[in-house]
Amino acid sequence: MIATLAACQGKPPSSDSITGGDPRRGLDAIQRYGCGACHRIDGVPGAYGKVGPTLQNIGERAYVAGKLPDLGVGEIDARDIAAFLYHQ
């Protein structure tokens, strides 16, 4: 909704308005959920996991295959994490 409004005003939507999340809280959530145990994520200390695919450049991808492992990530946390990843 917010992203649509921004687009209508000729302003490129920011990653924050697309995801509705906060990248700073996203970093915190990523560390709390331990995503780095399985994923390599730039900007996240200790995130060198090799179990899952790297989450670098995820913002450049039009489509994210599969779905998040079922770690019980709440919607707010998921939005924040997405905001953080799209900021990369």
Q: Which residues of this chain interact with ligand HEC, rule CB under 6 A?
A: 30, 33-35, 37-39, 51-53, 55, 58, 64-66, 68-69, 71, 73, 81
Question: Which CB, 3 or 33, lies closer to ligand HEC?
Answer: 33
Question: Which CB, 1 or 67, lies closer to ligand HEC?
Answer: 67
> Helix axis angle, 75-86 relative to 23-33, nearest 10°?
110
SS3 48: strand
At its nearest, how many Å lie between ligand HEC and the CB of residue 19? 12
Q: How many Cβ atoms are within 10 Å of 38's Cβ, its own excluded?
A: 16
Residues 63/48, Cβ–Cβ less than 8 Å:
no
Question: Which CB, 10 or 66, lies closer to ligand HEC?
Answer: 66
